[in-house]
A and B are shown apart, each in its own frame.
Chain A
Amino acid sequence: MSVEETGYPPFPAGETLLARTPDRARPDQGGAAEPLLEVTDLRVQFRRGGRRVNAVNGLSYRLPAGRMLAIIGESGSGKSVSVRALMGLLPETATITGSARFDGSELVGLPEPEMRGRRGADIAMVFQDPTRSLNPTMKIGLQITEAVRAHADMDRNAARDRAIELLQLVKLPVPERRLVEYPHQLSGGMRQRVMIAIALAAEPRLLIADEATTALDVTTQAQIMELLLELQERLGMAVLMISHDLGLAATYAEDVIVMYAGRAVEYAPAGTLFEHVRMPYTQALLGAIPRLDREPHAPMPSTPGQAPDLTALPAGCPFAPRCTSADEQCADEPPFAEHEPGHWWACWHPVRDGA
């Protein structure tokens, strides 16, 4: 899928990604100098039955206020774990190291009571499956007002009014009636709108959408993404979107990180990334998207091999065992560096344009 097909205007290549003042940033945000979220060398390790699983291995990125960043990767690439680590939502078996600074203050190692004060208020999250993410036995109204009252001293009536307001914000029709309904009485798309309303309850500055549209059908998926985009602009939130869907990222996100085996392997503005793919893994992902201009009945290209075993990562490039251009140099780990302005990757043999 090329950028033209998606109808999303490509970003001007060559512009320095991190220095660029986001077009949709709030005016009071510092912009370039101080990103809203700065993740440096984030690592997450799980203890599982005596073994250690390295889910995230040194992830670094910066997200300016008001911008939308997509993290792309296969399941098991560590993308979900890395954002849950930011919110302190991982089980006790996880060990988190590195740094994640939100608006200048450190999130890693924050004691639980303080972390709780930030969840929802600073960073909110929308999850993959709205059917499982809403409590089936609680009315929608209570599930929203609970989020509202977690961070604001409000009485029941005020919280109810706020809940109606939030449901209007996510464009759910007849909000008063929704309040007394249960999740299973709503459609999947409506449920995800409720989830977004819950996430917006305390006006967070960063919204994490963890595969927020994966469980929805394609039409609903587009509607929810449009809603997120609109809310991002209206409220000046930064959005961190987790997805395995490159097309979705290309359409909506401004910047894209591609993750493999718990680390970033390519990072660029969306336009740059899809116009000038450098990382063979990203190219493999792109090649796996069905395209109309391919010969009928031509075999679907797929990436051979399996996602790496996170308990025993090989030395060097983790993608090397599945990579067609791998050679002996790949036994050394390629550095993740800014090889072209605004375009970062970790590969000894980057794909050339037009290849």
Chain B
Amino acid sequence: MAVVEAAPTLVSGTGEERSRSWLRALELIVPGAVLLLVVGACFVGPLVLPVPSPVGGNILESNLPAFSAGHLLGTDPNGNDVLARILHGGQSSLTIAIAVNLLGLLAGGTLGALSGYAGGVLDSVIMRVLDVLIAFPSLVLTLAVAQSLGPSQTNTILALAFFSVPAFARISRAATLRLREQPFMVAARLCGTRGWRVLLRHLAPNIMPQLITFGMLGMGIIIVIEGALSFLGLGIPPPAPSWGNMIAQGQASLSATPILVVWPCVALFITVLAFNLLGETLRARWSGR
């Protein structure tokens, strides 16, 4: 019968009803604006705002309360300006997170796409290796590596990127497997398009959204882990500021000046929350039609 076809009618699969479109737009705009603000404040703020140096503070100006002259958020026990440390700390957190996710996305994305597209032995080998990496207690080994290589920004980036590869690879592989049998992919192959060209021109643009969405959620995760490393003294080495080592430093005087822990915690929380909200919104958009 040409006219009619059997399909579930309107009732099934309506999914969660979304509220009006401007509310939906807010889901993207609010976390996006917060992130822009955070990134702008951390990277541009120290250049244009009158904030003092984050290190080498005067010990005579230690532990000033918030709203002191010249120190909006006060100073820490070493007399360093807290606001300046927050902004510079955010700079290194964000730099690390962006670098780690870019490396992970490129390496993992390529590996997963190759694995899913090629299939066969290559696929099995790559997947088994990734299984090992996934089973690995990554934070634990990162700690060991970071300690022995000496804590530094580059080492932290490399160690974290190494362990973020499997997650990206899995997502990329799953997306590739779904796409592989799609008519346009088959058509591209039948037209004699070379393998790498199919990967680059047809596959990459289609799996990118999913990888970027995961990258957003990954930003939050990496910022938290980097904070953990610094907190344990294995990330950014003091006196250079980072949110993690500021929290660790504040912990020492938790009962006397709890506010020193609060500032970096708030900065960390807001940034991670914004990344998570943005990632969740993107994910909901991509999965729900």
**Physical contact A–B (CB less than 8 Å):** yes
Q: What residues of chain A lie closer than 8 Å to B6, measured between beta carbons?
A: 75, 128, 211, 214-215, 244
Question: Is A47 within 8 A of B9, CB to CB?
Answer: no
Q: What residues of chain A lie closer than 8 Å to B10, measured between beta carbons?
A: 46, 53, 55, 76, 78, 80-81, 310
Choice from B1, B9, B17, B18 contacting A80 with Cβ under 8 Å: B9
Question: Is B14 within 8 A of A303, CB to CB?
Answer: no
Known: A49-B21, A244-B1, A289-B1. A91 touches B7 (CB 8 A): no
Within A32-57, the residues touching B (CB, 8 Å) are: 46-50, 53, 55
Known: A47-B17, A50-B20. A75 touches B9 (CB 8 A): yes
Question: Is B11 within 8 A of A302, CB to CB?
Answer: no
Q: What residues of chain A lie closer than 8 Å to B20, measured between beta carbons?
A: 49-50
A289 to chain B minimum Cβ distance, whole angstroms, is 6
Q: What residues of chain B lie closer than 8 Å to A116, measured between beta carbons?
A: none
Q: What residues of chain A lie closer than 8 Å to B4, measured between beta carbons?
A: 73-75, 244-245, 285, 288
B9 to chain A minimum Cβ distance, whole angstroms, is 4
A90 within 8 A of B: yes
Please measure, in the bound complex, the distance between the C-alpha atom of A187 and the C-alpha atom of B11, giving whole angstroms.
Answer: 26
- Name A211's closest neighbour in chain B (CB-CB): B6
B8 within 8 A of A: yes
Interface magnitude class on chain B: 10 to 19
Within B5-35, the residues touching A (CB, 8 Å) are: 5-11, 14, 17-18, 20-21
Within B45-59, the residues touching A (CB, 8 Å) are: none
B3 within 8 A of A: yes
Question: Is B5 within 8 A of A49, CB to CB?
Answer: no
A219 within 8 A of B: no
Dominant secondary structure at the B interface: loop
Please measure, in the bound complex, the distance between the C-alpha atom of A89 and the C-alpha atom of B12, giving whole angstroms.
Answer: 11
Question: Is B2 within 8 A of A93, CB to CB?
Answer: no
A84 within 8 A of B: yes
- Name B4's closest neighbour in chain A (CB-CB): A244
Please measure, in the bound complex, the distance between the C-alpha atom of A76 and the C-alpha atom of B4, giving whole angstroms.
Answer: 10
Known: A244-B5, A302-B2. A49 touches B18 (CB 8 A): yes
Choice from B3, B8, B11 contacting A91 with Cβ under 8 Å: B11
Question: Is A285 within 8 A of B3, CB to CB?
Answer: yes
Q: What residues of chain B lie closer than 8 Å to A290, measured between beta carbons?
A: 1
Please measure, in the bound complex, the distance between the C-alpha atom of A300 and the C-alpha atom of B4, giving whole angstroms.
Answer: 13
Q: What residues of chain A lie closer than 8 Å to B21, measured between beta carbons?
A: 49-50
- Name A46's closest neighbour in chain B (CB-CB): B10
A287 to chain B minimum Cβ distance, whole angstroms, is 9
B8 to chain A minimum Cβ distance, whole angstroms, is 7
Question: Is B1 within 8 A of A288, CB to CB?
Answer: yes
Please measure, in the bound complex, the distance between the C-alpha atom of A74 and the C-alpha atom of B18, giving whole angstroms.
Answer: 28
- Name A304's closest neighbour in chain B (CB-CB): B3
Q: What residues of chain B lie closer than 8 Å to A119, measured between beta carbons?
A: none
Known: A49-B17, A80-B8. 19 other contacts (CB 8 A): A50-B20, A50-B21, A74-B4, A74-B5, A75-B5, A77-B9, A80-B9, A80-B11, A81-B11, A89-B11, A90-B11, A93-B17, A211-B6, A214-B6, A245-B1, A245-B4, A246-B1, A285-B3, A288-B4
A and B contact pairs by CB, cutoff 8 A, 11 listed: A46-B10, A49-B18, A73-B4, A74-B3, A75-B4, A76-B9, A245-B1, A288-B2, A300-B2, A301-B2, A310-B10
B residues bordering A, Cβ < 8 Å? 1-11, 14, 17-18, 20-21
Q: Which 9 A-B pairs have the closest CB atoms?
A: A302-B2, A244-B4, A80-B9, A75-B7, A214-B6, A288-B3, A288-B2, A303-B3, A74-B4
